Chains A and B, each alone.
Chain A
C-alpha cells in the first residue's frame, strides 16, 4: 500500500463547476497535509495546508480533512481553465522525522 494515494485522472470538469480531488493516506498518526498545484513544465506550488479535522477555505479552494477515514480532499469552486494542472497531495507522517511524502498527483482538466 502506498503511503499517499491519488487517482491519476485526468479529471475533467466543465468551466464553472466544482472540481473535487481526493487523497488517502496510510499512516493514521499523520498530522500535516498539503495540496500543491503543478503546471506542466513548472515546479509544484503550495496552495493549501490543513492540520485539523474539518474544512479550511481560501478563496475558491476548500481543503477537507477527515482523520478517522484517513482522507484529505481539495474542492475547487467555479473551476477555470487556468486551474488545469496536476494537483499533488502531500503528507507528513509520524515517525518519518517530519519528512514530506507526495502522492503521484491528479491531473485536472477544466473544459470550456
Chain B
C-alpha cells in the first residue's frame, strides 16, 4: 500500500478481554515501531522491530503486552486481559531502514476498554 495501514481504526473492548491490533507497514520498510499515546500525552515507545534482529521490547509496560512481526512485514500487537488504563491510541510507524531514514505513521487504533 501507499502508507502504513492499521486496523481496526477503533476498538471497544470489555475489561479482561484480549485484543489484537494490526499494522501493515510500507512495502520494503524493514523497521517497525509501536507507540502508545494517551489523551493529551506524548508518544510512549512500546516496541521496535529492525529487520531480522531481536526486537527492542524495552517499552512494553507489562507482560500483558506482546508483539510479533511475521515475515518481516505485518505486525500484531496483542494486549491480554485488558485494563481501563490500556485505553489509548496505538500508533505504528515504519521506516525504510533503521538508520537515518524517515519513519511514517499509520492513522492509529483507538482502543477503549470499558
> Which residues of A line the B interface, CB within 8 A?
31-32, 34, 42-46, 49, 51, 88, 90, 92, 96-105
Contact = CB atoms under 8 A, between A and B. Distances in A.
Sorted from nearest, which 8 A-B pairs have the closest CB atoms? A98-B98, A104-B42, A98-B99, A43-B105, A32-B100, A102-B43, A99-B48, A43-B108
Given A98-B31, A99-B45, 10 more contacts: A43-B107, A43-B108, A45-B105, A46-B104, A97-B48, A98-B97, A99-B33, A100-B48, A100-B103, A104-B42
Interface size class of B (residues with CB under 8 A): 20 to 34
A2 to B, nearest CB: 11
B43 A98 contact: no
Interface string B28-51: 000101010000001101001010
A3 B1 CA distance: 33
A44 B105 contact: yes
B98 A97 contact: yes
Contacts of A49: 102
Nearest to A86: B42
B61 to A, nearest CB: 17
B20 to A, nearest CB: 20
